[in-house]
Amino acid sequence: MVCPQTATYMASTISAVSVHDAQLCAQADCRGVAFSKPTIVGRQRLSTALACMRILIAITLATFALPALAEVSDKAASQTQLWSQGAIVGGIALSLGLFRPLLGLVAGLPIALFFAVGAHVTLSDPHIGTALLAEQGEPYRTALYGSSALVALGACVGAAIGLRTRHLLGERRGAS
């Protein structure tokens, strides 16, 4: 049977162990499980381990109390995606404008307007817009509006070149 000094030692060394738990440990010793009083080296290791455990628990609990700051940038399109999207859709609008000038304008300008309205709505949102600009900076605003400008530019340049080549050749492409 464990002497009361061992139960008291266990309760005083491990602050998380209540007196009831120490008594349960003492009952387990009566059933044949041997708890020996730790040596000086064992006490130092135990106290060091418990100190480290207390520090880790304190750090864990302290981080739970902090507000969660989710990144917004990983949920929004990157600057590379925005520029690529504008260049690809602008290139399609340019090629449509070369083939049929009115088709390039009719297809490209509403898409450019759609991109510009989406950029304005995204940046004018008080939560998303401020977080995006805080994380990405002003170049993100340029990329958002620049992608719509690329589409509009592609549509206008395609229509202008398409109209100019028709006028210079003096014939309509569809008539041939």
Q: Of the given ranges (18-22, 153-157, 160-164, 165-169), which has the lowest mean pLDDT?
A: 18-22
Q: Please give the residue that has the higher pLDDT: either 164 or 173.
A: 164
Q: Give the separation between CA 64 and CA 66, rounded to whole angstroms.
A: 6
Structure tokens at 40: 């000086």
Q: Of the given ranges (8-17, 82-91, 123-132), which has the lowest mean pLDDT?
A: 8-17
Q: What is the pLDDT of residue 109?
A: 95
Structure tokens at 32: 């044949």
Structure tokens at 6: 């061992």
Which segments of the chain does DSSP mark as H helices, in order? 4-13, 19-30, 40-65, 79-99, 101-124, 128-136, 138-169
pLDDT digits 0-9 by tens, 29-43: 444 444 455 555 556
